[in-house]
């Protein structure tokens, strides 16, 4: 009852769990090595408060947003 016929191979629970464990371990190791190889992003400091208010032209902002959406993507 613990085996399933898959063509010529038989798959037991033990083999399935061993394969799933190896798959998860590979994912964890792959994720860890990709994080270790990339340097952390650097963030600049914000300008001092109070920030100045700037008038924004709604039509210009809308046309820029529309153009950037189709140029760069969502």
| Token duo for residue 66 | 């529309």
59: pLDDT confidence band, cut at 50, 70 and 90? very high
| Token duo for residue 54 | 């700037």
Q: Cα(13)–Cα(44) distance, rounded to whole angstroms?
A: 53
- Give the DSSP H or E segment for 74: none
Q: Cα(64)–Cα(17) distance, rounded to whole angstroms?
A: 52
| Token duo for residue 31 | 């994720």
| Token duo for residue 40 | 């952390």
Read off the pLDDT of residues 2-23 as tens digits, 9 standing for 90 and up: 555 555 567 788 888 888 888 8
35: pLDDT confidence band, cut at 50, 70 and 90? low
Q: Is the pTM of the predicted complex or chain greater than 0.75?
A: no
């Amino acid at each position: 009852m613990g085996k399933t016929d898959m063509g010529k191979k038989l798959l037991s629970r033990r083999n399935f769990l061993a394969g799933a464990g190896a798959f998860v371990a590979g994912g964890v190791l792959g994720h860890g090595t990709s994080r270790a190889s990339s340097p952390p992003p650097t963030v600049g400091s914000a300008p001092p408060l109070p920030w100045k208010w700037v008038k924004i032209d709604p039509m210009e902002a809308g046309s820029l947003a529309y153009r950037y959406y189709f140029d760069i993507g969502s």
